[in-house]
Amino acid sequence: MNCAVCSFIKSDKIKKIFEDEEIVAFLNPTPAVPGEVLVTTKKHYTVLGQVPNFVVGELFSLANKVSIALFELLNLQGTNILVNDGTAAGQQVPHVLIHVIPRKEGDNLNFDWERKKVSEDELKTALLKLKSVTDNLVITEDDKKYSSEAREEKKSENKEDEKIEEKPEPAEPEEKKSEEEKKDNKGYKEIEIKENYLGRQLRRLP
C-alpha cells in the first residue's frame, strides 16, 4: 500500500534528528507548534498494537529523550507525548506516529475533553474485564506471550530454587586464581559498574 509517512521517510525532504535501523525521529513539516517532533518506525505498521514489543520500547525511549532535549533547548513548561492510535482516536495517516509537542503557557493548544461521570458499578465492571486480561499479562521481550499455566510453572521453579541452599566455597587466595577466572571477575565488575551508571542516569530523568 502507498503510505505517505513511508514515502516521506525515504525522501530527501525529511529533517531527521535521529535514525537507526528500526526507528526515526524528524521535525513535523506541519506542526501544531514549531519544534514538534514525530517519532516513528521505519517499517510500516498501521497501529501501535502491530509493533514488536522491543521496537515499542525504543520508540518511547526516544520520545522521552526528545522531550528532555526540547525542554532544554526551547525553555519549555511542558510537552505532550501523544499517540493517535486508530481513526476513532484521530489518526489521520495509517502509520504509527508518536507526536512530541512542545508546550508553553498561553500557547492556546487545547487537548481537553469533556469529562464523563460514571457509576461505581461501571467502574467495577470495567476493572473486572481489564483484570481478567492483565492478571495473566507478562511483559516479555519481542512478541513472546506466556500462558497462565507457564507463568505458574515459572513461579514453581523459582520456589524450588529458593529451597536449594548452596554452601559457599571457601575463598581462594588471589594468587591461586587462574587468569581466566580473573578475567571473568573483571567482566562481572564491569557489568555491575554499567548497571549502576544506568541506574543513576535513569534517576536523573524527570
pTM above 0.85, yes or no: no
Same domain? For 146 and 80 the reply is no
Asked whether residue 168 is assigned to any structural domain, the reply reads no
Asked whether residue 52 is assigned to any structural domain, the reply reads yes
Please say if the pLDDT value at position 186 is more than 90.
Answer: no
Instruction: Please state, in angstroms and as integers, the Cα–Cα distance from residue 145 to each residue in 73, 131, 152, 158, following that order.
Output: 41, 17, 14, 19
Asked whether residue 140 is assigned to any structural domain, the reply reads yes
Q: Closest Cα partner for 36 from 4, 74, 5?
A: 74
Q: What is the DSSP string of 42-77?
A: SS--SSGGGS-HHHHHHHHHHHHHHHHHHHHHHT-S
Please say if the pLDDT value at position 144 is more than 50.
Answer: no
Asked whether residue 109 is assigned to any structural domain, the reply reads no
Residue-wise pLDDT for 1-47, tens only, equals 689 999 999 998 899 999 999 999 999 999 999 999 999 999 999 99
Same domain? For 93 and 122 the reply is no
Residue-wise pLDDT for 69-113, tens only, equals 999 888 899 999 999 999 999 999 999 999 999 999 988 888 878
What distance lies between CA 88 and its chain's CA centroid? 23
Please state, as a whole number, how many other Cβ atoms lie within 10 Å of the Cβ of residue 13.
Answer: 10
Element (DSSP H or E) covering residue 148:
helix 148-163
pLDDT of residue 116: 85
Q: What residue numbers bound the domain in which 13 lies?
A: 4-103
Q: pLDDT band at 139, cuts 50/70/90? A: low
- What integer is the mean pLDDT of 117-145? 78
Residues 6+ apart with CB under 8 A from 105: 77
Same domain? For 24 and 92 the reply is yes
Same domain? For 128 and 59 the reply is no
pLDDT of residue 185: 52
pLDDT of residue 51: 96
Same domain? For 47 and 83 the reply is yes
Same domain? For 129 and 56 the reply is no
Rounded distance between C-alpha atoms, residue 26 and residue 5, angstroms = 11
Same domain? For 56 and 143 the reply is no
Asked whether residue 81 is assigned to any structural domain, the reply reads yes
How many structural domains comprise the chain? Answer: 2
